[in-house]
Structure 1
Amino acid sequence: MSHLLITGANGFVGQALSCALLDGGHTVTGLLRQRGGALHGVDELVDSSADFADLDTVWPPELRPDCVVHLAARVHVMHDASTDPDAAFRQTNVDGSLRVARAAQRNGVRRFVFVSSVKAMAEIDAGRPLREEDPPAPQDPYGRSKLAAEEALTRYGKETGLEIVIVRPPLVYGPHVRANFLRLMDALWKGMPLPLAAIGARRSLVYVDNLADALVHCATDPRAAYQCFLVADSDAPTVAELARSLGRDLGKPARLLPVPPGWLRAAGLVTGRSAYVDRLIGSLQVDTARIRAELDWRPPFSTEDGLAATARWYRSMH
């Protein structure tokens, strides 16, 4: 069995990954900004400095993990208050990631799994599912920072022999989800009418336990070295299908209105939310053929399973 260090082990994905690794008999250390929040059985290493500036100082010499899974990041936000969002994202997602990789390499770590995002590639697809080899065209500071981090880490891996593995998930959902997915469930729970019935575009997404399972493969399978993988559920529902499925699981039938996409685009222009509307009505599917072929990976849970588990958690909170 392996010893893995997870940055952000107390977060949404970090806890799911920790659980999967512990269940598999692996040893897990969580690298955290402050003590607490990691699962029982996870050793905690604290670096409270900004963007891992003090990591070399706090890393104990006896800590020699086989692999680091880097989850900690400055996350995508719809309305960034920073005066220079690109610089702010770069400080954490590029410079901070490189600090972790360098500390890992200096302490004998063999593999570094970087959890990037499909946003490093695009916001919408070009009429077919995205593939890893497609030319990347990120559209916002978050996506640009993730792509820049991928490129910088890949160069560092070639220079040092550290096995860099890049994972690009789409929207991640599951119990304890936040942001837009949680807002959709809030709206369904309250019975709000939603203008989604006429949106036929499909969106890939990934259940958090499916992502955790894929990350275990990427961290422990020798075949994953130096690879880049898109990871998603087997299904890519339309936004309307997603809302209806969640509504059924919540026991709150979705009230969907057939508003034409053109009207939604016009509303986006008037309200200054065109980017949000474009993401809502645009297709973003990913092709997971590479990880299926290279690592023999299949999502262990269906989208139906993941949505039902997410709805059960939400109902338990209400």
Structure 2
Amino acid sequence: MKVLVTGATGFIGRQVVNQLGEAGFEVRMASRRPQQVDPASDAVLLPDFDAPAQAFQALMRDVTHVVHCAALNNDRKASEADFLAANATLTAQLAHAAAWRTSGRFIYLSSIRAVAGPRFSGMISEVTPPAPQCAYGRSKREGEIRTLEAYASRPTDATALRLPPVYGEGMKGNLATLMRLADTTIPLPVSALPGVRSLMSSETAAATVLHLLHRSQPLAPVYVACDAPPLPIGAIIGAFRRGFGRPRRLFAIPASLLRAAATALGKGSLWENMTATQICDPSLLVSEGWVPQADALERLVETARRSRSGAA
């Protein structure tokens, strides 16, 4: 049984490829950089979003399932059109080809940004009304819609897996920024920050994909996943500092003073992002036998430790 993995050389894609191989699946890796993988492996170039349909159909030869990890992520500065091309049009091309040429499942790695912006505070589940607030989020939501449209005749074979911020070796974005901030001796006034966040390790994201491929029952159109429990911003930075072997040096000052300082410095939106509480509810996955990872803090410590070892 062969699985096509797009974005196979990317942050999460690498983990998906490794875990599929360990589970006994054959893997075809589609990437913008297929030359980065073992020449003896089944690696192909991922077509551009505007390639003819035949190019996407050719990817599906002998393939049973598709795991679509490739994306233009929100750590990149891009136009709305660029995000839509990479995350919606390309997804539609793949989904239509897969629905026609494969008999198995199509798993689209989406994001909680498809339903909520970074300033949203509250619980996020499969029934949260989609209200994306950025070009990236809108493009991921459109990718979800086009995936399900392509599988209209086989709706239980396709799903969008919405992920919270994902951490691990090679991560980018806000979590990478927090980790760089933690790798200093600067005392940080973050202990009183009210924001609490659900996170997920790249290894657990890949394991969730494997769970959905193994599931014998029909798939829901959308799943939300995360590690447990959600973590305060201060705890995240503290875990990174522990991994780096840095003194904790986190202290609390009244949140009102921090808010006033951020506003005075023109960083009011950053303050709102940092203090938002976004907690994911993976109850649907849990009801289907999936078990969330419960050691997020230790995994964050290990992420920083490996980052230091890799740099050395």
Taking structure 1 as the reference length, the TM-score comes to 0.88
Of residues 183-192 and 269-278 in structure 1, the stretch that sits farther from structure 2 once superposed is 269-278
Are the aligned partners of 2:99 and 2:150 in contact in 1 as well (CA < 8 Å)?
no
- Please list the CA deviations of residues 117-169 of structure 1 after superposition, one character each: whole Å capped at 9, or x if unmatched: 01111135876422211111111111111111112221221146572111001
Q: Which residue number in structure 2 is paired with residue 298 of structure 1?
A: 291
Q: Note if 1:13 corresponds to 2:12.
A: yes
How does 1:24-173 map onto structure 2 within 5 Å? Answer: 24-38=23-37, 42-47=41-46, 49-51=47-49, 53-54=51-52, 56-57=54-55, 60=58, 63-77=61-75, 80=77, 82=78, 85-123=79-117, 128-159=122-153, 163-173=157-167
User: What letter matches 1:225 in structure 2?
Assistant: L
User: What letter matches 2:8 in structure 1?
Assistant: A
* Structure 1 residue 263 displacement after superposition: 3.8
User: What are the ranges of 5 or more consecutive residues in structure 2 without an aligned counterpart?
Assistant: none
User: What letter matches 2:164 in structure 1?
Assistant: P
Q: Note if 1:23 corresponds to 2:22.
A: yes
Q: Which residue number in structure 1 is paired with residue 2 of structure 2?
A: 3
Distance across 1 between alignment mates of 2:203 and 2:258: 33
Q: Which residue number in structure 2 is paired with residue 221 of structure 1?
A: 215
- Please list the CA deviations of residues 2-58 of structure 1 after superposition, one character each: whole Å capped at 9, or x if unmatched: 3111100001101111111111111111111122334787520113x4326256237
Query: What is the count of residue pairs matched by the alignment?
Result: 311
- Please list the CA deviations of residues 199-219 of structure 1 after superposition, one character each: whole Å capped at 9, or x if unmatched: 132100001111110011122
Q: Report the aligned-residue RMSD.
A: 2.5
Q: Residues 156 and 312 of structure 1: is their aligned pair in 2 closer, same or farther, counting only changes over 3 Å?
A: same
Q: Percent identity?
A: 26
Partner SS for 1:255 = coil
Distance across 2 between alignment mates of 1:259 and 1:219: 47
Distance across 2 between alignment mates of 1:135 and 1:269: 30
Of residues 266-275 and 90-99 in structure 1, the stretch that sits farther from structure 2 once superposed is 266-275
Are the aligned partners of 2:227 and 2:293 in contact in 1 as well (CA < 8 Å)?
no
Q: Note if 1:238 corresponds to 2:236.
A: no
* Structure 1 residue 276 displacement after superposition: 2.8
Q: Which residue number in structure 2 is paired with residue 260 of structure 1?
A: 254
Distance across 2 between alignment mates of 1:10 and 1:133: 32
- Please list the CA deviations of residues 84-143 of structure 1 after superposition, one character each: whole Å capped at 9, or x if unmatched: x22221111111100111222232242110100011111358764222111111111111
Partner SS for 1:4 = strand
Are the aligned partners of 1:18 and 1:39 in contact in 2 as well (CA < 8 Å)?
no
User: What letter matches 1:66 in structure 2?
Assistant: T
User: What letter matches 2:61 in structure 1?
Assistant: L
Distance across 2 between alignment mates of 1:273 and 1:223: 48
Are the aligned partners of 1:176 and 1:313 in contact in 2 as well (CA < 8 Å)?
no
User: What are the ranges of 5 or more consecutive residues in structure 1 without an aligned counterpart?
Assistant: none
